[in-house]
Structures are given as structure tokens and as C-alpha cells.
Amino acid sequence: MRLFMVAGEPSGDRLGAALIRGLKELAGEPLELHGIGGPLMQAEGMQSLFPMEELSVMGLTEILPRLRSLLARVNQTADEVVAQRPHALITIDSPEFSLRVAAKVKARLEHMPTIHYVAPTVWAWRPKRAAKMAKSIDHVLALLPFEPPYMQAVGMSCDFVGHPVTTEPVASEHAAAAFRARHGIADLAPLILALPGSRRSEVDRLTPVFGETLRKVKAEHPGARVVVPTTGAVAATLSDRLADWPGDPLILDPRDQSGEAFLAEKRAAFAAADAALAASGTVSLELAANAVPMVIAYDFSWLTRKMIGAMLRVDTVTLVNLVSDTRAVPEFLGPNCRADLIAPSLSRILDESQARTDQLDAMAATMLRLGRGGEDPGLRAARSVLSVL
């Protein structure tokens, strides 16, 4: 079976790798994999056409300066799909890029099945995206249980497959204690994860706010330590941006070790953490899977902020809040992405048991609704893909 898969960022790389593992188990024949992906998909046997990191941009003003090069990559990718003539094209999130590829491929290979993994958030903003997407996508794999009807209403088939984060390994208490000991972090010292994003534009915009927030929190909790897990795409940028952060933050850099060793260290950090300050995105689910109470903060450029604000249809963008149908996780978006507003909320999580309990309950509900305890989402996704081939 020959497949062409396209992922544009680390979260998509994780989804793609889980799907590949599921297909290997269920397909009943060898897989020939082409496309674009990160280290996890490549570890499963896919050769990437070009580095996935080239596609990790977000927001209107972030995309515009690179539009010409991105459109050239769209054309290159579509041409490669046509040349390979796979049994299906599977695009994973990153709609600004992947759906353009799908449209060009569908125009030239009308009968090729096109599958998109991660339903667009039409329930949150820009509801007409689903109808536009249906012109080039046949089938959708949804991460959230309430999404299939939105896709089916405009003519696409859609299956809820759950989220692989529910089955990813969680470090033990022993590993968490060993992490603290290894890095000289006292057992009772508050440990805060700082996660300012996986894109350079996010890191540039959020690190000053995160740094000032942590400075205020450390004034109330002087023994607190900060750990910053990162990705290879932004590690160098992040090292520069953290020079003026308080308390000599510990950066977990994947460039310093093997992929598996880095993942083990990252899991141990999550298990050891007391709280997290994170950019909006799927990282909230990763934190929820590890039961780490969090505060979400995010900002766009002024123009992107205005456009999204005018189209937003929900009062929260944090997936834990949406899936659990609570508002347990505090979020500070756009004009509210300010240290003087964020810091008290982060301190409250460190200090107040009720705030922590509310989040832990919401996280447990989120994991249950996303499939924890059920069949592996990678297998469910694979079964859904095979059903339309």
C-alpha cells in the first residue's frame, strides 16, 4: 500500500506516527510511505520530501512574509503526489498548507481518496471552512467527539478516532524524583513548566511575556524552578530569548540527545511538574494527560488578533475546557496576554488546592472523552483510513 502523508508541525508528526503504527498492524500488506513529516514519522519509515519545520507558521502576518516560498512548496508537494500516484493522500492538520495541496491534487487526480486528519475547528470560528474543505477532502478523522456532524453536514464522511495523547507513556513517580535529583531541584521546590510554543513566531512573541510572568511568580515563590521543554526547530531561538528569564531556567533541548532519551526526559519533567504556563494548542492535552495544572496564554500579531477576534464563536480556545465542558483552565488571550494578569493565576495554581482539584477533574474528564481506556486512537485512525480505501 502506497500512501502520501503530509504533516506540518510536531503535533501532526505525533498523529502521523501513531496512524502509521496502526496501519502497520491492520493493513495486512507492506506500507510504502512518502510525504512530509518530522522525526516521529520518519522513525516509522517515511522519507520527508523537505524539512517539516519549513511549514511551522501560524497567523496571517506570520504567513505573509513566507507566502511565496510556502506556495512553491505547495506546488512541489502536489507534483510529488501526482508523480507517486499513492492509494491515498493523507493530510494532517496545518490546513493553510495541507488543504492547498489536497485541492491541487484533487484537481488533477479526481478519484484519488483524500483524507484529512484533524477536523477544522468550525465550531469555534469560520464555519464556512468545512464546506470549502469538502471540495477537495473525502474523509475526515476527528479528534473531538462532537466534530463529525459538522463534517458530515457538508458531505464529507467523518469518524471520531480519539487522540493519541491518551495512550502516550507517562513517567513514574520514581522517574520524576530522579529528574529533580539529576537537575538539583529540591523535592518540595515548586517546579513550573514553561511552554512558549513550537514555532519561531510564537517564541518571539510569548517569551517576553512568559519571562515577566515568571519573574512575578518567583517573587512570591523564590524557590521555584522553571523547566522549558522545546523542539529542535526553536531550540536555538529559545536559548537566546531566555537569557533574561529569572532563576536560570533549565532548557530540555532535543539536539543534545537521542530522540527516545529526550522523550524520556521530557516525560519525567512533566511528571515532576507542579504547574505549567503554556501557549494555546494541543500542548494543553499533553499537560492534561500528565495531570499538570496549567495556565494558557497566547497572542497573535495585531492584525491576526483583530481578524480572529471578529470571527470567534466560543468563549474559550483551550481544548481541556472545551472537551470537559468546563472553564477550569484559565486562559489569557490577545490583549489579556499580560504578565500582570497571568502571574496571579499561575500563583493561585501553586497555592490553592481547590484550583488544582478543579483542573485535575476537568483533565480526567477530557482524557476519558478523548478515548483513554478504549482502543488505541492510532488503531482507530488506521481502521477509519482503511475503511475508505
Band the pLDDT of 59: cuts 50, 70, 90: very low
pTM more than 0.75: yes
| 71-86 pLDDT, tens digit each | 899 999 999 999 999 9
Q: What is the pLDDT of residue 61?
A: 45
Q: What is the pLDDT of residue 64?
A: 61
Mean pLDDT throughout 341-345?
98
SS3 readout for the chain: CEEEEEECCHHHHHHHHHHHHHHHHHCCCCCEEEEECCHHHHHCCCEECCCHHHHCCCCHHHHHHHHHHHHHHHHHHHHHHHHHCCCEEEEECCHHHHHHHHHHHHHHCCCCCEEEECCCCCCCECCCHHHHHCCCCCEEEECCCCCHHHHHCCCCEEEECCCHHHHCCCCCHHHHHHHHHHCCCCCCCCEEEEECCCCHHHHHHHHHHHHHHHHHHHHHCCCCEEEEECCCCCHHHHHHHHHHCCCCCEEECHHHCCHHHHHHHHHHHHHHCCEEEECCCCHHHHHHHCCCCEEEEECCCHHHHHHHHHHECCCCCCHHHHHHCCCCCCEEEHHHCCHHHHHHHHHHHHHCHHHHHHHHHHHHHHHHHCCCCCCCHHHHHHHHHHHCC
Mean pLDDT for the chain overall? 91
| 89-127 pLDDT, tens digit each | 999 998 889 999 999 999 999 999 999 999 988 877 678
Mean pLDDT throughout 336-344?
97
